[in-house]
Homo-oligomer: A and B are copies of this chain.
Amino acid sequence: DSAAKGNSTARVIAPYTVYKGKAAFSVTPLLPTFSKIDSGNLKLDRRGAMMLTFWPAVGERKYDWEKRQRFALSPTEVGSLISMGAHDVSEFFHDPSMLSSNAGQVSKKLYIKALDGGNGYMISLTVSNNLLKSNERFNVPITTAEFAVLKTACSFALPHIIGWDWLTNRSHKGIEGS
């Protein structure tokens, strides 16, 4: 069980997944990367994210993982999600090729909207590809209970994806005279 000793390279695969009529939806934290700098310290290289994955239903209780689409929520977008009230809307736009020569070819929109009556949310991902002339859309209705899990799990993960978990994985460096 080397995974438990903290110096293993084994990854743990444990997304929180919700299966609904037309699509499934999962969320899992994506950790930041660090690089060693001259001082020997570690500097945040790339922020982490909450990776959302959607894949379509292709029959009763059957889903096609090959047709999945992803959306990586940045820390600030996670802040938006966890502060949503019972009547709020959040909308995020991503261009996976932003700042490259392919910018604008593919655009992704994530839309989270409280359902009328206040008993849940609709989470929608739309992926438009100008080159392929394709437009995919995933709709996953989320209950209040599922959204509470999402909020709690994202709040728990947030300090980790911004790189602050060194706070819980360290020795007493502040001891004078040691």
Contacts and interface: CB of A to CB of B under 8 A. Distances in A.
A6 B171 contact: yes
A145 B80 contact: yes
A16 B33 CA distance: 14
A157 B167 contact: yes
A28 to B, nearest CB: 8
Contacts of A148: 79-80, 82-83
A115 B96 CA distance: 32
A98 interface: no
Q: In the assembly, how many copies of this chain are there?
A: 4
Range for the number of chain A residues in contact with chain B: 35 or more
B149 A78 contact: yes
Contacts of A34: 12, 14, 172, 174-176
B149 A76 contact: yes
A13 B32 CA distance: 12
Interface string A141-162: 0011111111011011111101
